[in-house]
Structure 1
Amino acid sequence: MHGLVEQFLKLRPPKFAGMGDPEEAESWIDELHKAFELLRCSEKEKVTLATYQLQGNANHWWKVKEFLQLQQTNLTVDQYEVKFAQLSRYAPRLIENPVDRAKRFRDGLKLNIRSQLVALNLKDYNELYE
């Protein structure tokens, strides 16, 4: 991946801050697509490289979206909790209520874990995590 990032940056792709008109966003996407085609990037590589070019509001928006879509999947509960804590900084309003914080954490857990916790009806984040 390191070599791909170097090649990508040599192309001097544009940054995107999420300000301005929609045409600016379309232009940014078009320029990135050119670089992706030249470098023959996979879908995963495209996401990684594109997010590297986000700045300001656009970067903040991306991290909020990442928080909203966070799922435990193949992470341990401890790894999931670390990622949850890191990303939750970008969406403080979504978790300012302790009950909402606990519910959002629970809803991202694997189904087999989540189904056991729903029955306990835990509303405290720390109790839920433990």
Structure 2
Amino acid sequence: MQSIPAPLPPPPPRVDRKVVKLFLDQKPPTFDGMGEPAKAETWVRALERIFRTLVCNDAEKMICVMHQLTGSADFCWDTKLKTMSQDCVDEMTWEDFKTEVYDKYVPKSYRKAKASEFHNLTQGRLSVTEYDRALCDMTRYAPEQMDTDEKLADKFREGLRYEIRMALAVRGTLTYAEELALALDVVAAMPKERSAGKHYASTTPATP
């Protein structure tokens, strides 16, 4: 007599409720859809950091993010879901959701203006440290042009003040970290009247 094979165990649930609880324990920020585009960007990045820590799958991410929508954003997303088929709702990924958020709350016109601002960014009257921070903060608006250390180093060097840029040029090819360190050393070695921005209309010394 042929034995009957044992039934296969049920597939594991798509959502681990423990992960959702751990997510909420992190006290993630909420989003109400109000304010500047940067607020939406900051919210998405904050959630992504938590998701990376918890190693969430897409289904868990979507359950978690629903807890964090409030006010106008909550109503808008509820309306959006009503226009979608159930299959599309069930198959939605975190990347799909981010695209929806960016299209609505971080308009292309804003991203285009920021990309232009990034391309035109130079040190000017900023200190080297301030210029470095501004540059790194804005790379997200031109990711395809800043996807290697070499490209980032080139952009950093090209935007430096002339005397600092010339000091770096004689050193040949450097990494971004090496260029930043050398630029700070150059400023520290400059006479006070030069490093204070004598060539610019400012009476406040620029600090590295």
SS at match of 2:74: helix
Between the two proteins, the alignment pairs up a number of residues equal to 73
Indicate conservation of the 8 Å contact 2:33/2:72, yes or no: yes
In structure 2, the CA distance between the partners of 1:72 and 1:12, relative to structure 1 (3 Å rule), is closer
| Equivalent position amino acid for 2:20 in 1 | V
Give unpaired runs (5+ residues) of structure 2: 1-15, 89-208
In structure 2, the CA distance between the partners of 1:68 and 1:9, relative to structure 1 (3 Å rule), is same
- TM-score relative to the length of structure 1: 0.53
In structure 2, the CA distance between the partners of 1:20 and 1:40, relative to structure 1 (3 Å rule), is same
Name the CA distance, whole Å, in 2 between partners of 1:33 and 1:53: 13
**Identity, % of aligned positions:** 36
- TM-score relative to the length of structure 2: 0.33
Structure whose CA Rg is larger: 2
In structure 2, the CA distance between the partners of 1:71 and 1:12, relative to structure 1 (3 Å rule), is closer
In structure 2, the CA distance between the partners of 1:3 and 1:64, relative to structure 1 (3 Å rule), is same
Name the CA distance, whole Å, in 2 between partners of 1:65 and 1:10: 28
Displacement, 1:72? 6.9
Superposition RMSD in Å: 1.6
Q: After TM superposition, where is structure 1 displaced by more than 2 Å over at least 4 residues in a row? A: 70-73
Give unpaired runs (5+ residues) of structure 1: 74-130
SS at match of 1:35: helix
> Match of 2:76?
61
Residues 1:20 and 2:35 aligned together: yes
How do 1:100-115 and structure 2 match up within 5 A?
none
